[in-house]
Amino acid sequence: MKSYEIENIEMRKVYSSTLKSMIDEDKRVFVLEADLAEAISTNLLSQTNSENYINCGIMEANMIGVASGLSLIGNIPFVHTFSPFVTRRDFDQIFLSGAYAKNNIKILGSDPGIYAQHNGGTHTSFEDIALMRTIPNATVMSISDTTMMKNILKQIKDLYGIHYLSAVRKGSYKIYNENENFDIGKGKVLREGKDITIIACGIMVVEALKAADILSKEGIEATVIDMFTIKPIDKELIIKYSKLTKGIVTAENHNIIGGLGSAVAEIVVENNPLPMRRVGVEDRFGQVGTLDFLQKEYKLTVEDIIKKVREIV
C-alpha cells in the first residue's frame, strides 16, 4: 500500500509566501487579518509589505466591510480568519456587502471541522461549506494540499467575485506534484476503479485513497475523485462515474447536511439515481480533542469510508 507523507512545508507558509509574491507583482493585492496573523504566518507582511497589509483586529464583520471598500476602488482583498468566524459570524456581510454588491473578495477559512482541535466547539465549523454554497455566484473550494493552495491562490487573484477557500493551517498530506494544474469547477480523478466511486475533498482525499488501497486487496476497485471545487461542482464528472460504477460514497470534514455529500446527491438524484452513502459529521457540534480522537469520534476515518463502500458493493 502506498505511503502518504505529511508535507515539509505548512499550508500557512504557502499562503503567506504566495500572497507576498502576488503583492510584489501587483499592488492591488491586499492582505486582511482579524488578529490571527501569527496563526496564518502573514505577520511578516506587516513589515515587508505594510502598505498592503491591514490587521482589522478581532472584528471579523468589519474586516469584510473593509474588504468590500477596497474592492470598490479596484483592489483585490484576501481575508483570513478561522472558518467559523469568517463564515458563520460574517455571513450577512459576505452576502450583502460582498456578493450582493458585486464586490471582489477572496476568503480563507482556516482549520475547518475537526482541525479546530483544542479550540473546541466554539471554534469548530462543520457548516462553512454549506453556508458559502448558498451565496449566489460564490465559488467554494476545499484545499487538499500546498500545491493546490499555491495554484488556486494565483488563479483566483485574477478571477472576479466571491471565492471561499477552506483549508488546514499546518500539516497536510502531499498529494500533487509541483507541476499539477487545477481547473476550478472540475474534479481531479486520482484513481480509476470499476466498482465504486469515492468523491472526497480536503483532508478526506488521502483517507479516500488509503481506503481504495485496502479495498483493492479485497478485489473492490474504487475510483477516487478530489472534488476540490464544491461550487460550481463538476456535474459532468459525477454523472459519468455514476454510470461507470455501482455507487458513490462521499467523504468530507463537514456536516453531511449541506456540504459535498449534499451537492453530489443533488446531481445524482436529478440525473442518474444510484446507491449513495455519505461519510461526514452527522449533525453534531464540535468539541475539544486531539485530531486522532476527533477523527474517530466523528467517523471520518479510512474504516468509515470502507464501511460505507461495503454497504453498496
User: For residue 118, which of 282, 293, 300, 302 has the smallest C-alpha distance?
Assistant: 293
C-alpha cell at 283: 449533525
The rounded distance, in Å, linking the Cα atoms of 1 and 76 is 44
Q: What pLDDT was estimated at residue 283?
A: 95
Q: What pLDDT was estimated at residue 182?
A: 98
Q: What pLDDT was estimated at residue 1?
A: 53
Q: What pLDDT was estimated at residue 190?
A: 98
Enumerate residue ranges in the chain where pLDDT < 50.
none
C-alpha cell at 173: 498530506
Answer yes or no: are the C-beta atoms of 167 and 110 closer than 8 Å: yes
Q: Which entry of 10, 33, 60, 207 is annotated as an active-site residue?
A: 60
Answer yes or no: are the C-beta atoms of 132 and 138 closer than 8 Å: yes
7 is catalytic: no
For the entire predicted model, the pTM comes to 0.96
Q: What pLDDT was estimated at residue 18?
A: 98
Strands 229-231 and 139-142 come out as antiparallel
**Arithmetic mean of pLDDT over the chain:** 97
User: For residue 226, which of 216, 241, 244 has the smallest C-alpha distance?
Assistant: 241
Burial status of residue 13 (CB atoms within 10 A of its CB: 0-12, 13-18, 19 or more): middle
C-alpha cell at 97: 456587502
The rounded distance, in Å, linking the Cα atoms of 246 and 253 is 24
